[in-house]
Structure 1
């Protein structure tokens, strides 16, 4: 099975994340999309970041109606700070029957050359790149690499930061969140 790994803090997961994940689940050769919830980095300020398991719960709520999209807490069990290359090695050891690919926005592709062991990632894993408005230009050697696949997904510019700020200001951000996620955030007064 070919699994696309979509990493994020998902703080909170929003309809933009789901549009991209569903597009890749339905219009690419990926069999499943795993929404990999990135744990809190102990070296970063936690002010607006929900607890790891609360964010994972929100991803569960958002994905339960999508059989091809699964939440993943795989990075919760790995030493911190964690690097994508370590997660990939761990996943291959745990699930040798699967092939793992990365899903990232164009903006992340632009900084891929700064990632730990990025050459290993590029040589051993496909990377599915979705468009971003303010991405800038990726290095030609990355764009033209045979393992980099540009996906003609919808351009969705929704920001978790703007959603959190909107909630704090008591704005109606409900259309930006999956219904079950909004219901949970609202009922538990999160981000207020």
Structure 2
């Protein structure tokens, strides 16, 4: 089985995440996509996050109707901050018969050289990259790499930050969220 790992804080998960993950699983050679809920990205402040299990619950609710999309809490019990290389090593030990690949936006590919052990990641794993609109037009140093695959997925310009700010400002953002996620956010009064 070939699994695409879609890492993120998913604070909250939104329809853009689902569109990209579904596109990856339907239009590439991936059999499943796992949404890896990250407790703490080395690049984000923890104070702005809902707790791990609330974000996992949202991912669970968002993916429950999709057989090829799965929530993952694999990083919850790993040392923090979470580095992708450590998670990959852990997953490979736990699921030796699976092949794992990383899913990332084109914007993340441009800073990929800053990731811990990025050379080792590229040696061992394939990267599936979806397009993002960016003001930075310089091509990534990994553009021509044989393990980097550009997937012609729809460009989704929805962000979790925008959703959180909009909810706080009293705006209706229901169309940007899966129904089950919207119900949960509304019921729990998150981000208000």
TM-score by length of 1: 0.95
Q: In the alignment, which residue of structure 1 is the partner of 2:57?
A: 57
Q: Return structure 1 stretches of 4+ with deviation > 2 angstroms.
A: 40-48, 135-140
1:156-183 Cα distance to aligned partner (Å, 9 max, x none): 0001111001111111100000000000
Preserved CA contact (<8 Å) 2:40 2:82? no
1:103-130 Cα distance to aligned partner (Å, 9 max, x none): 0000000011111111111111010000
Preserved CA contact (<8 Å) 2:37 2:73? yes
Q: In the alignment, which residue of structure 2 is the partner of 1:151?
A: 151
Q: In the alignment, which residue of structure 1 is the partner of 2:23?
A: 23
45 and 143 in structure 1: CA distance in 2 versus 1, 3 angstrom threshold: closer
Q: In the alignment, which residue of structure 1 is the partner of 2:71?
A: 71
Cα displacement (A) at 1:42: 9.1
Q: 1-side partners of 2:47 and 2:113: how far apart? A: 30
Q: 1-side partners of 2:70 and 2:115: how far apart? A: 25
Deviates more, 1:129-138 or 1:40-49: 40-49
Q: 2-side partners of 1:42 and 1:117: how far apart? A: 14
Q: In the alignment, which residue of structure 2 is the partner of 1:115?
A: 115
1:33-64 Cα distance to aligned partner (Å, 9 max, x none): 00000003599644431000000000000000
Task: Could you tell me which runs of 5 or more consecutive residues in structure 2 were left unpaired when the two chains were aligned.
Answer: none
Q: In the alignment, which residue of structure 2 is the partner of 1:10?
A: 10
Q: 1-side partners of 2:65 and 2:135: how far apart? A: 31
86 and 42 in structure 1: CA distance in 2 versus 1, 3 angstrom threshold: closer
Q: 1-side partners of 2:91 and 2:9: how far apart? A: 19
Q: In the alignment, which residue of structure 2 is the partner of 1:138?
A: 139
Preserved CA contact (<8 Å) 2:13 2:160? yes
Task: Could you tell me which runs of 5 or more consecutive residues in structure 1 were left unpaired when the two chains were aligned.
Answer: none
RMSD (Å) for aligned C-alpha atoms: 1.5
Q: 2-side partners of 1:43 and 1:88: how far apart? A: 18
Q: In the alignment, which residue of structure 2 is the partner of 1:179?
A: 179
TM-score by length of 2: 0.95
Matches within 5 A, 1:31-42: 31-40=31-40
